[in-house]
Amino acid sequence: MFRLFRLLRIVWVGLRFGLDELLFAADPSGRLARWGDPFLRLRRFDAPRGVRTREALETLGPIFVKFGQMLSTRRDLLPPDIAEELAKLQDQVPPFPSDDAIATIERAFGRPVSELYEAFDPVPVASASVAQVHFAVLPGGREAAVKVLRPNMRRVIAHDLALLDAAAGLVERAWPDGRRLRPREVVAEFGKHLEDELDLMREAANCSQLRRNFLNSPLLVIPEVYWDWCTESVMTMERMHGTPISRVDLLREAGHDIPKLARAGVEIFFTQVFRDAFFHADMHPGNIFVAADGRYVALDFGIMGTLNDADRNFLAQIFLGFFQRDYKRIAKAHVEAGWVPAFTRVDEFEAAIRTVCEPMFDRPFAELSFGQVLLRLFAIARRFNYEVQPQLVLLQKTLLNIEGLGRQLYPELDLWKTAKPYLERWMEGQVGWAGFERMMASEALQWAPTLPQIPRLVYRKLVAEPEAFVKREVERLAAEQRRLRRWAQLAALGFLAVLAVELWRLLQ
């Protein structure tokens, strides 16, 4: 019953904001448009369809806001005007009552808040779609930030994901490009990350891992997790101080080197992606501060991206190909990775990529738009039957976040010159002598138990196994000889029987 009411509300919101217009526009046959045109003409909409789509998602609630944020990275699924508008979605949700937050904490630990913390501020300092944050003081005087999960989120998310999956199934069946774009897999990927956000112990583990990756880093600081005050519904971590990255005026007043800060942001991103294959995938301005010492401060670790070795090496080839303007390298990498069909003509694919990428170079951030580039690349992908990779959706989202941060912070930044040296050093570490040494070091622990066994293994291969082989061969030949002897005896008996029959006939 709840799902039925939720579905009816979604339909009502869609009609209220005129989103049925999108369905009619996407119908290749035009039958829906002919049926719906009279109904649409009865309503008047002053706002463009992109604005109405964004407002409809905001009305439907935080889960649809998050899905809209992810869809904004999939320029192949949406018209450009809608994708650009969805990129403006902000995960800003009114807080839930403080009494509910306190009840959640006390239920999680079985103790009153007054015993858990020396002080607890009931007024939340931040509120997002799945949780909100309160400041507190731990026993001993350490300042902390306490993140508390919203009540009853699992049920709401489960129903909304089921509806999104049903909608994605309709897209797959009704849209000519539906199967290639794999919308159900995109929804599944979104649901997986959303499910992860509902377990604050997982977020605490993400935070701890990222802190360990950047421990003592001159670029990035991550809060410490206070594990004794963490459960699936409550996460307690070090309280961080800093200036929001979006307040460039305050950063300048504090004396921060803005160009250096922008370059550091690019290096942090590429370090997370290529060195660690573990990256913060929700880098909007509300989650990034700048500390007094000039280091970045990252918050909110509910959405983290990971890459396997194959994806990471492929992406490194692609980025280096862009920075070196080696479009043939990019085209061949797509074919070798199986992301476009094996029969694709590399020269044609190379020419199409060059058309998109060449106008981008020698331009500052202020004149670049990753969104537009992605849109054009997806258009090329459709032409060459590119197979969509759902595991890279978070990376696309992060790239768009970085574009927004870069525009706010230092529009004059030359992204290519900043990132190229880092990627070249990383590739050298992967394929050169340094990469060989790193591989040997990583394999050493696995080799250590085997080394003492080498003499025995050599003896087995050179002495014991040959002897066993000879013995097995002798036994096999003896068995074969016995088998042939039996067949010969049977043949002789058969011949004698035939001869006896013939002699008996002659004597009759």
Task: Give SS3 for 114.
Answer: helix
Distant-in-sequence, close-in-space partners of 124: CB < 8 Å, separation ≥ 6: 95, 98, 101, 132, 133, 134
Q: Report phi then psi at 232, rounded to 5.
A: -65, -25
Query: Rounded to an integer, what distance in angstroms lies between the CA atom of residue 312 and that of residue 273?
Result: 8
Amino acid at 50: G
**Which helix (H) or strand (E) element contains residue 237?**
strand 234-238
Instruction: Count how many Cα atoms sit within 13 Å of the Cα of residue 161 in the half-sphere of its side chain.
Output: 17
Rg for the chain, CA atoms, rounded: 32
**Number of helices followed by number of strands (H, E) in the chain:** 23, 11
- Residue among 282, 326, 362, 414 flagged as catalytic: 282
Least Cα distance to 134 among 163, 166, 158, 102 occurs for 102
Residue where the block lists tokens 């970085």? 402
Cα distances from 470 to residues 462, 465, 466, 480, in angstroms, run 12, 9, 6, 15
Judge whether 282 counts as a catalytic residue: yes
Query: Rounded to an integer, what distance in angstroms lies between the CA atom of residue 78 and that of residue 73?
Result: 9
Amino acid at 508: Q
For residue 414, how far is the Cα from the chain centroid?
A: 26
Dihedral angle computed from the Cα positions of residues 70, 72, 78 and 80, in that order, rounded to the nearest 10 degrees: -170
Query: Rounded to an integer, what distance in angstroms lies between the CA atom of residue 90 and that of residue 22?
Result: 23
Residue where the block lists tokens 């043939």? 328
What pairs with residue 149 in β-bridges? Answer: 131
Taking the chain, what is the end-to-end CA distance rounded to the nearest angstrom? 100
Q: Determine how β-strand 288-290 pairs with β-strand 234-238.
A: unpaired
3-class SS letters over 380-404: HHHHCCCCCCHHHHHHHHHHHHHHH
Q: Determine how β-strand 296-298 pairs with β-strand 288-290.
A: antiparallel
Least Cα distance to 286 among 401, 140, 425 occurs for 401
CB-based contact 257:294 (threshold 8 Å): yes
Least Cα distance to 222 among 301, 277, 127 occurs for 301
Task: Give SS3 for 125.
Answer: coil
Sign of the CA dihedral running 96, 9, 168, 21: negative
Q: Most distant CA pair in the chain: distance in Å?
A: 132
Give catalytic residue positions: 282
